[in-house]
Structure 1
Amino acid sequence: MVDFTFTEEQEMIRESVRDFAQAKITPIALEMEKTKKIPLDVIKGMAELGLLACTADEKYGGAGLDAVTTGIIGEELGRADPTGSIPVFWLVQASWGYLFNKYGTEQAKKEIFPKVCSGEWFLGIATTESDAGSDVNGTRTMIKKVDDGFIVSGEKMYISGVREAHTNGGGHLTIAHQDLEKGTRGMTMFYLPLTDKGITPTYADDMGREGISCGGFSIDDVKIPPHYILGEENKGFYYVHEGYEYARGLIAAICAAAGQKSLENGMDYIKQRKMFGTYLGKFEEVNFRLAEHYTRMHMLKNMAFEALLSIDLEQAGKATRFETAKKIAMAKMFASDWACAAANDVMQWQGAFGYTHECVDNAIYRAVRSFAWAEGAKEIMKMIVARELLGKDFVAYK
């Protein structure tokens, strides 16, 4: 039995994040669907609380938080913002800040983290391309070593935070082939500034989480210095999956919190709304579905924190890489489906109002739907779990 009793310090962090989120985020959340941006005072407030890139070491301006504590923050942001904009803005920097903190060079971390943690710059992840999503090896972007650095050419698409980094400053951790003949063993990971010449952004309109931009960018012979390389050359494929897993754990926690919040909205409604002279909550079709969704959200939260704990245990040498990967995949596998189903039924209970943009559960549905793909599609999660159960001989893509 895993003990998920949080420490006094973790509960204090939860309380401070909840107070901030409920006061500063919830009141303006739906406005972000119209303005298409997160208010600057919210970003600065998050920075002052130490929430941005909170997994970075304190010496770089971060809070040095472990995965479980980071998941607590994700929960509170997931409850507070039905649009999912701020949770995505935050989780990308938390999870990939973790990877950058682990594998980035000292020079790069001193240069980049202070501006990210202060909210001045954005730190993102850019692996997806038009024809390469969960299949990272399918990327066509190339990185070539030259005498005084590296030259990058290619394109990335369906990336969060393109406008934030290109306009305000910052960049994305990126992966490219350095040696095509080596396949996944010839891929290198690096930090790519989106403000450099040779970067041309494009933008896409998402169905949800509209407060943070989505789009892509072309990379036309952009030169980066050697200290922007993460870890060793040609090992980027292995590094990137550590970042994916951290993000997947946070996504599961956020989905559980968002789904739970939607159910609470629904409970308030069905206890007040009457149909045919009786409360809606008395109908078996309604209260049975509530019971099922509530149970799934409870299970999802437990799986999310068990997975995040496994990340912390792995760092301490008390869990294996593959056991962590399995628990993470299990947690994320149905996170989007279950949260979407909960929000969808809450919308149904509210009738025609549930179909309007004024209904916060409508926003929750559209936000958590994106997590069925983000940081690895649910089908990939199933493949990971099956691989760990049956062994690599039963992997279909080999």
Structure 2
Amino acid sequence: MDFEFTEEQELFRKSIREYCQNNLAPRLLEIEEGGRIPYDIIEGLANIGALAMTVSPEKGGAGADAVTAGIAGEEIGRADVSCATAVFYLVPTAWGYIFDKYGDPELSKKVLSKVVKGRAFVGIATTEPAAGSDLASIRMTAVKKGSAYILNGEKLYTSGVREVMELLPEGGGFLTLAKTDPSKGTRGMSLFYVPIKEVSGEVSVTYLKEMGRKGISTGGFSLKDVEVPEENRIGPENRGFYICMEGFDFARSIISVVCCGAAMSALETAIEYIKQRNVFGNPLAKYEGVQFKLAENYAKLDAVRLLGYKALWMFDKEQREGKFTRFEVTRVAAEAKMLAPWIAFDAINDAMQWYGAYGYMAECPLQIALRGIRSYMWAEGATEIMKIIVARELLGKEYIAYR
């Protein structure tokens, strides 16, 4: 058992940490208050090879393994504790990998070569107004018509809608889940790449206001008689649900280390504060009430960080070497995603308490981190669903009441 990263991974961590701490961390308030990630930051991340880095080299990416992708996510989370830049990073990293693996080679090369340069965004659109955790209940349909599909329906709570529609030079699109055979439930769903800014048919978009991670947009879109070519289907027909589950495993694993990065950064900031802040004649750091909370939270973050990297390592082994089953990877990814946001949230919340009234002020980075981390209790799968997944793998699916 070896807990060391490779020499190449350590060099990459040093490189991306240097970039993020020098260029991203100082602009936290600008991102949060401006409601977008400045494009020069996006270009900078592209220039160091961090965007959609899991995409294969022939399509413009670095062909990075999942653990290396996790390193980038952790360092971006440390620098932008709002988690906005982490979302912009991790969504195309996980779902760009899926597009690369299952998508039409020519189409995926055309799209992903723009994503790795920061000129376009590729996201995931599964959630609907009446179907979130219960994906079997989605209503969007895709009906075959010659060599194309006609899509009708609505997606909601989707990251990156404004980026695709307005903010990035070449837009992008979403891997969109739809029913191709409604009689078969999850076995009758297919996944499509839908460039919502370019398709024929009627598209209307919605922008939502979030409580946190304000630098990345959340919204939705509705499709009415939107036609996409057959080559826009990602993977075989009626296999979309299962392809999505593979992408969720990857995204959930990255999220776990992003949460740890943001919370560790918050704790390190708080450590410097409690060493300097005097109360009743002593630094706050001398009081056991503070020390015990710090020790507990740091240990929990250390533990769940290792679990997150284990999930990423297992994903690599399963994808590249055929080791582990898909269900084993799914369980560990769910464990990490189940725990990391809550552990990170508690650590940041406790640290905010040490700041007193200042912790509640808008310019305090810890409250920005707290609001950003909260989103990951839902994004890419709610905590309760993670618990159901873990229980299913431990007990057997016959003991789960949900189908």
TM surpasses 0.5:
yes
Q: d(CA) in 2 for partners of 1:219 and 1:177?
A: 14
SS of the residue aligned with 1:342?
A: helix
Q: Structure 1-normalised TM-score? A: 0.98
Within 5 Å, which residues of 2 pair with 1:70-109? 70-109=69-108
1:141 partnered with 2:153: no
Partner of 1:39: 38
SS of the residue aligned with 2:276?
A: coil
1:290 partnered with 2:289: no
Partner of 2:330: 325
Within 5 Å, which residues of 2 pair with 1:152-301? 152-167=151-166, 168=168, 169-196=171-198, 197=200, 198-301=202-305
Partner of 2:347: 342
SS of the residue aligned with 2:81?
A: coil
Superposed CA offset, 1:266-297 (max 9, x none): 11111111111111112221110000000001
Superposed CA offset, 1:341-360 (max 9, x none): 01111111001110111110
Question: Residue 367 of structure 1 is aligned with which of 355, 372, 378?
Answer: 372
1:312 partnered with 2:311: no
Q: d(CA) in 2 for partners of 1:104 and 1:237?
A: 15
Within 5 Å, which residues of 2 pair with 1:25-64? 25-64=24-63
Share of identical aligned residues, percent?
49
Q: d(CA) in 2 for partners of 1:190 and 1:77?
A: 29
Shift of residue 23, structure 1, vs aligned partner: 1.0
Contact 1:60 1:110 in 2 (8 A): yes
SS of the residue aligned with 1:199?
A: strand
Shift of residue 200, structure 1, vs aligned partner: 1.1
**CA-atom RMSD in angstroms:** 0.9
Partner of 2:11: 12
Contact 1:355 1:362 in 2 (8 A): yes
Uncovered stretches (5+) of structure 2, i.e. residues with no partner: none
Contact 1:30 1:83 in 2 (8 A): no
Superposed CA offset, 1:88-114 (max 9, x none): 000001010111111111121122111
Shift of residue 4, structure 1, vs aligned partner: 2.3
1:355 partnered with 2:360: yes
Q: d(CA) in 2 for partners of 1:290 and 1:261?
A: 13
SS of the residue aligned with 1:37?
A: coil
Which AA in structure 1 matches 2:385? I
Moved segments of 4+, more than 2 Å: none
Q: d(CA) in 1 for partners of 2:27 and 2:267?
A: 21
Shift of residue 148, structure 1, vs aligned partner: 2.6
Uncovered stretches (5+) of structure 1, i.e. residues with no partner: none
Shift of residue 3, structure 1, vs aligned partner: 1.9
Contact 1:57 1:64 in 2 (8 A): yes
Within 5 Å, which residues of 2 pair with 1:103-142? 103-142=102-141
Which AA in structure 2 matches 1:219? L
Contact 1:4 1:305 in 2 (8 A): no
Q: d(CA) in 1 for partners of 2:215 and 2:163?
A: 11
Q: Structure 2-normalised TM-score? A: 0.97
Superposed CA offset, 1:125-151 (max 9, x none): 111111111211111111111013111
Contact 1:30 1:82 in 2 (8 A): no
Q: d(CA) in 2 for partners of 1:17 and 1:26?
A: 12
